[in-house]
A and B are shown apart, each in its own frame.
Chain A
Amino acid sequence: MSNAPFVEVKDLRRVFDVSKPWLNRVLEGGEKQYLKAVDGISFDIARGETFALVGESGSGKSTVARMVVGLLPPSGGGVTIDGVSMADAAQAAARQRLRRRIQMIFQDPYASLNPRWRVDRIVAEPIRAFDLIKGEREIANRVGELLSLVGLHPDDGKKFPHEFSGGQRQRIAIARALASNAEFIVCDEPTSALDVSVQAQILNLMRDLQDRLGLTYLFISHNLAVVRHMASRIGVMYLGRIVEVSGGRELFQAPKHPYTRMLLDAVPDIGMTGRQRVPVNGEIPNPINPPSGCPFNPRCPFANDRCRTERPPLDEGVACHAVHERRIDVPVAA
């Protein structure tokens, strides 16, 4: 086995054309407009590891996920999984074989479940498509087993998606992802529709499966407590870029980037200790016309002229001039 990481994301970019409709541009004037949803991000995931992406809504997490599984072509850069490029035409056959080893759990479970199929057919779909199990009885048994694993009942297979609650649908999507025996699962907000007890059940299950089968996860969530529980390394995204990447424990004990610090301060106070959630200051910037220099500078308490003009590189796991210049304390993890 080579030492190359299982998943390698290099300088990944995606630009969307968000111009006004052609007619309006002609009538009202106006330029073509582009939105850099993902603006040059790189990370690796080792086999058997969980890498998490967190960050503000609209920062490009789902767009990264869709490019990683090959659902959306990148505008630049690339993704290599187990040595197979997700873009190279010459590797089309290898990519086809790779596909069955990758699954995605979507942020929006309902949109990803065929409303006209019964649940047992939905869950069995990857089993049939990849010919993983022979015989209808055996397939039905496996589907029942998968439904039980995610806390549903084997008999629920006879129902249609609309007969389920939001969280139950999310569990159907998870059961389907597990059905394929995938090695790499991209999870976009997999448990945000679940109550905390079922969430605990699913997260524990995902970790057990990882221990047992050596699964690799790309895990996207806005819930920092969940991310902390699941990920060995975490990338923090802001406006299409990774602004900090570090080990899970380190990120929470010693956040470096001012945005990461703000994010941690904004976590709601469940204990109701009276701690005021630190209000998040500043407007979310416009991704169509992002600030020059560091994208965080308009909201950053430490911004200076350099921050407003020069884009900080991702260095020592953090993209921040103030940290690089040691203008602000860098806490050390205990």
Chain B
Amino acid sequence: MSEPVLSVRDLRVEFVTRRGILKAIDGVSFDIAKGEVLGVVGESGAGKSVTGSAVIGLIDPPGRIAGGEVRLGGQRIDNLSPEAMRRVRGKRIGMIFQDPLTSLNPLYRVGEQLVETIQTHTNLSNAGARKRAIELLAEVGIPAPERRIDGYPHEFSGGMRQRVVIALALCAEPELIIADEPTTALDVSVQAQIISLLKRLGREHGTAIMLVTHDMGVIAETADRVAVMYSGRIAEIGPVRQVVQTPLHPYAKGLMGAIPTLVQSSDDRLVQIPGSMPRLSAIPPGCPFHPRCPHAWDRCSRDRPDPIQHAEHRVACHLYDANDPTAKAHMIHTHAPLEEGVAS
């Protein structure tokens, strides 16, 4: 097997605050192969954006990478100097942030920002870079790009701003794109456009994509594999079809069950997972999900579950520990029986 484009091993990120050290990311490992889209989902605050920021070396104090390795094309990048990292960013890694305003300077016209970025990475003339910028805007679906290119960010709708940010990320044709909620603000038809754009990048340019989103529909259509994060850890990771349709981890099951659909009755309350995610300052021992988990038993509040390979899934849950003879019993004696990887 060829080397993955991105390889993250046992990543740990902490925030040092007056209230103590907060472990935002606690031992996260995953790979993304060439041309592959890894979807990342999970509870709000689970650490998806921080993971993305850590990969591109944008954790600002009081945050710090407290351990682990990040490799891009085999080369370690978590220990590069800020200067070297700046070159990697933008050139080899493209970023699309959750909040489009953070990547756009409100004082400059959209075109100026695109042209500048293009010229940092190519030796195109002003006119050539402007032409390329218009092409990129057209590619992300901005109508009348030759006119809108002279607009300021505030003159664009929320969705159009996000598309400008995507165009910015594409400027240098990077080998890895980290897209944090790229389609959150977009309606389904533009969303479909962006998704096919991302997929095409993977197919035609071999770009590896880390796609963070809450939209399970987008994940189902775009991702090859998906990682479900909870409380700074990966609860489950595996091929998208398996994880979305037959999730194993109790949190992943709850998450998939909460997706609102167009078929259920609108009079029903939406399903939600009872309780809320622990705060970083009070992560429970053992499995961080155990206070909310319908299957938890004493072991769950004591031992931290390590990821276990189960069929095509890697799942961090004691229920799937083949060496624990009691685990299976807890799977059966619950109200919502878990079906081991079988579609219901």
Interface positions of A (Cβ within 8 A of B): 16, 18, 20-21, 24, 33, 54-58, 62, 107-108, 110-111, 151, 153, 155-156, 158, 163-168, 170-171, 189, 192-201, 203-204, 207, 222-226, 228-229, 248-249, 252, 262-264, 266-272, 277, 279-280, 283-289
Contacts and interface: CB of A to CB of B under 8 A. Distances in A.
Contact of B143 (A54, A55, A229, A287): A287
Interface stretch (B79-87, B126-134, B152-160, B309-317): B152-160
A229 B260 contact: yes
Interface of B: 15, 17, 19, 41-46, 48-50, 98-102, 141, 143-144, 147-148, 150-151, 155-160, 181, 184-193, 214-218, 220-221, 241, 244-245, 254-255, 258-262, 266, 269-273, 276, 279, 281
A291 B205 CA distance: 36
Contacts of A56: 187, 189-190
Contacts of B255: 195-197
B266 A249 contact: yes
B157 A58 contact: yes
B276 A151 contact: yes
Contact of B188 (A171, A201, A224, A289): A224
Given A24-B150, A58-B160, A193-B181, A198 B188 contact: no
B273 to A, nearest CB: 5
Contacts of A203: 260, 270
A21 B147 contact: no
A196 B43 CA distance: 8
Contact of B44 (A58, A198, A289): A198
B272 A200 contact: yes
A197 B241 CA distance: 20
A165 B258 CA distance: 20
Nearest to A166: B98
Nearest to B292: A197
List of 5 A-B pairs having minimum Cβ-Cβ separation, nearest first:
A57-B159, A167-B44, A268-B217, A200-B270, A222-B187
A269 B216 CA distance: 9
B188 A200 contact: no
Contact of A193 (B150, B214, B245, B269): B214
Contact of A267 (B190, B217, B270): B217
Nearest to A237: B187
A187 B193 CA distance: 26
B220 A272 contact: yes
Contacts of B189: 56, 262-263, 266, 280, 284
A140 B6 CA distance: 46
B44 A222 contact: no
